[in-house]
Chain A
């Protein structure tokens, strides 16, 4: 972190929002002890999630009883992921999208096994809404709400996957608004090839020039040394 970043005043609202997200994650984890236990094995590890637009960085420290989220950290993360919010969400929540259709690829550096395990835990997390709501609503209503919430979240997850998949299809294939990743890759290859051709041509021209200048200077020397 540079000095400019260090002198930035921490935002009250963004800190509150992050605290709320942290609380929600930890509440969800408490309601699924099996997932919490799997996560606790990684206590002490740090994941950095950097969204490109809007530019937001979040650092997640795994602790014995859940996660702690921060906007900044001076520690070296065990794994860092960087990409657009949609791509990051589809990566971390395992949404089924066509690769590269929504935005660019997600940059991943560090321990990929750790990231994969986090993805798996997020995917397997079964939130017990009944246990969370029981102290507030009583057991009967909590059970009903739990059932409804599971259906709602299941539907929402499927809908998000379908939406991103269809959006990717539309934007990539039908509207032609953005090129397919394969096309971008091939275009990049063509540009690289052209650049190398130009470099080779330039080198050849330089060589010919130096050869012609050395031959003309030697012919001048030859003509200068000839008897009059």
Chain B
């Protein structure tokens, strides 16, 4: 099938391959200003704990170079900036300019501008040299990338040998009762909160749908293996609602 005829999912909709990026951009442009508030509300604050756990598994030391991909409003990048110290460097990268604007301001306010860079990039074709980073993190971002395999290959290319990738993403609950409760909560409550806080229920309907279309834990681990990552593993969090995948480049 030629690229012109290829389709992909945008939530439960099927859309032309080239359109997904624009549609996702529209979602994030709409919610950028209140993205963190909404995250706190829909996750009941748990996203902060999950990000802490990601940082703990990142193994970052002073002097490291870290890429926070789809880093949006920069909450991971701020922590990384402090961990890598004066001799290290953090690149906050996102495809969405509105999210990066918020992230840039937050990095500046947190006193992290001295060792951070803010860059607008497409995760499928990262504009960095081979073997550039000790660690790459992508938190709640891989789901929105159209060609995930290309993105994983691109991340592998820019990782240094010995470097690691951490993918924090919504996944598939391991318990069917939890899955039912989670479905009810996310489809019933998230769009209403979206309407109330950012006057955009559709973006949060998309969020709930896109999570169900995202590969489950084992499938994503297989995709990382296929991309060339070694020693891949995942950690289920909150009963598999979120999973943290990790892989190394050797």
Per-residue CB contact flags for chain B residues 116-135 toward chain A (1 = under 8 Å, else 0) read 00000000000000000000
A70 at the interface (CB under 8 A from B): yes
Chain A residues with CB under 8 Å of B238's CB are 12
Chain B, residue nearest A45 (CB): B85
Chain B, residue nearest A1 (CB): B59
Chain A residues with CB under 8 Å of B57's CB are 6, 10
Chain A residues with CB under 8 Å of B53's CB are 10, 12, 15
**Does A70 lie within 8 Å of B56, measured CB to CB?**
yes
Cα A6 to Cα B233 in complex, Å, equals 11
A16 at the interface (CB under 8 A from B): yes
Total number of A residues with any Cβ neighbor in B under 8 Å: 21
A201 at the interface (CB under 8 A from B): no
Per-residue CB contact flags for chain B residues 24-54 toward chain A (1 = under 8 Å, else 0) read 0000000000000000000000001100110
A32 at the interface (CB under 8 A from B): no
Per-residue CB contact flags for chain B residues 68-97 toward chain A (1 = under 8 Å, else 0) read 000000000001001101100000000000
B151 at the interface (CB under 8 A from A): no
Comparing A71-79, A123-131, A175-183, A206-214, the segment that makes contact with chain B is A71-79
B62 at the interface (CB under 8 A from A): yes
Knowing A61-B82, A64-B111, A74-B61 are in contact, say whether A19-B48 is a contact too (CB < 8 A).
yes
Cα A65 to Cα B62 in complex, Å, equals 19
Cα A211 to Cα B102 in complex, Å, equals 87
Chain A residues with CB under 8 Å of B237's CB are 12
Chain A, residue nearest B62 (CB): A75
Chain B residues with CB under 8 Å of A16's CB are 49
**Does A63 lie within 8 Å of B82, measured CB to CB?**
yes
A223 at the interface (CB under 8 A from B): no
**Does A44 lie within 8 Å of B111, measured CB to CB?**
no
User: Smallest CB–CB gap between B234 and chain A, Å?
Assistant: 9
User: Smallest CB–CB gap between B89 and chain A, Å?
Assistant: 15
Chain B residues with CB under 8 Å of A68's CB are 79, 82
A7 at the interface (CB under 8 A from B): yes
User: Smallest CB–CB gap between B169 and chain A, Å?
Assistant: 16
A9 at the interface (CB under 8 A from B): yes
User: Smallest CB–CB gap between A61 and chain B, Å?
Assistant: 6
Chain B residues with CB under 8 Å of A1's CB are 59
Q: Which chain A residues numbered 1 to 22 have a C-beta less than 8 Å away from chain B? A: 1, 6-7, 9-10, 12, 15-16, 18-19
**Does B233 lie within 8 Å of A7, measured CB to CB?**
yes
Chain A residues with CB under 8 Å of B52's CB are 15, 18-19, 70
Knowing A9-B235, A10-B235, A19-B49 are in contact, say whether A71-B86 is a contact too (CB < 8 A).
no
Chain A, residue nearest B238 (CB): A12
Per-residue CB contact flags for chain A residues 137-171 toward chain B (1 = under 8 Å, else 0) read 00000000000000000000000000000000000
Chain A residues with CB under 8 Å of B83's CB are 61, 75
Chain A residues with CB under 8 Å of B86's CB are 44
Given contacts A10-B57, A44-B85, A75-B62, 4 further A-B contacts (CB under 8 A): A15-B52, A68-B79, A70-B56, A74-B60
Chain A to chain B contacts (Cβ below 8 Å), 17 pairs: A1-B59, A6-B59, A10-B53, A10-B57, A10-B235, A10-B244, A12-B237, A12-B238, A15-B49, A19-B52, A44-B85, A65-B110, A71-B56, A72-B56, A75-B60, A75-B61, A75-B62
